[in-house]
């Protein structure tokens, strides 16, 4: 089971001037993964406090996931992304981009979010907004990907999408578009300035590591390369 911690960054909640609504909402959603929420804390919007909490959960407790809520905007007191970046080994920008993209469909001010996501050691860290609604909405975008992401970070995950799930092909075999061929589209002729566009399959995201693009945008099949070959499907 995923072991997680939730950190609420809020000066007012830390001073007991208002209850923390976002932290409990995030913890409830994480338990649906399922995940064990090992700790849930409220701290002020101060970089030293945030760094100390993140390092404790990542290094001392070696948790799988740390989710923060609050302090992701452009107010002078919004320093959660700054503190997070200080201790990250690697960023995972796609997660933050996905959250902003979804929020922008409803809230224009979502473009002001500076939230980041990334990895420290074997721990995934994700910044969420401070409002309960915003935190739930953003976390909902990430929930389907979190178990796989954590497995990969821990070195326990397999391929993102096994080849067999797209028609049972073997290296060098052809796939018919619409039957087993993943939805890849070549925008310009191959080779040369070819661009490969990744579509989405009903069974999830696709593993492109072994796929050679089709020769033409109108082609009806594609293939995986055989051992020691560089041939493409026709």
Q: Output the pLDDT for position 158.
A: 61
Mean pLDDT, residues 2-20: 97
Q: Output the pLDDT for position 64.
A: 98
Whether the predicted pLDDT of 15 surpasses 70? yes
Provide DSSP, 26-49: HHHHHHTSSEEEEEEEEE-S-HHH
Mean pLDDT, residues 34-39: 97
- Give the separation between CA 31 and CA 37, rounded to whole angstroms: 7
Instruction: State the pLDDT confidence band at 156, using cuts at 50, 70 and 90.
Output: confident
Instruction: Give the model confidence (pLDDT) of 193-209 as tens digits.
Output: 333 444 433 333 333 33
Mean pLDDT, residues 7-24: 97
Alpha helix stretches (DSSP H) within the chain: 11-14, 22-31, 47-55, 80-87, 93-104, 132-142, 146-153
Pair 132, 66: CB distance under 8 Å: no
Domains and CATH numbers, the chain: 2-153 (3.40.980.10), 160-234 (no CATH)
């Amino acid at each position: 089971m995923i072991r997680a911690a939730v950190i609420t960054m809020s000066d007012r909640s830390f001073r007991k001037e208002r209850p923390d609504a976002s932290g409990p909402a995030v913890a409830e959603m994480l338990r649906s993964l399922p995940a064990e929420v090992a700790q849930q804390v409220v701290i002020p919007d101060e970089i030293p406090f945030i760094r100390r909490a993140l390092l404790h959960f990542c290094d001392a407790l070696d948790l799988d996931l740390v989710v923060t809520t609050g302090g992701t905007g452009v107010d002078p007191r919004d320093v959660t992304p700054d503190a997070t970046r200080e201790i990250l080994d690697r960023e995972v920008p796609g997660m933050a981009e996905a959250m902003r993209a979804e929020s922008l469909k409803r809230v224009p001010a979502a473009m002001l979010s500076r939230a980041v996501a990334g990895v420290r050691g074997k721990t995934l860290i994700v910044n969420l907004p401070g409002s309960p609604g915003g935190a739930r909405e953003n976390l909902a975008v990430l929930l389907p990907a979190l178990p796989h992401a954590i497995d990969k970070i821990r070195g326990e995950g397999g391929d993102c999408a096994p080849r067999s799930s797209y028609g049972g092909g073997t290296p060098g075999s052809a796939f018919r578009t619409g039957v087993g061929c993943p939805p890849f589209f070549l925008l310009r002729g191959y080779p040369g300035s070819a661009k490969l566009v990744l579509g989405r399959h009903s069974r999830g995201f696709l593993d492109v590591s072994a796929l050679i693009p089709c020769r033409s945008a109108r082609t009806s099949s594609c293939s995986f390369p055989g051992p020691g070959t560089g041939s493409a499907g026709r």
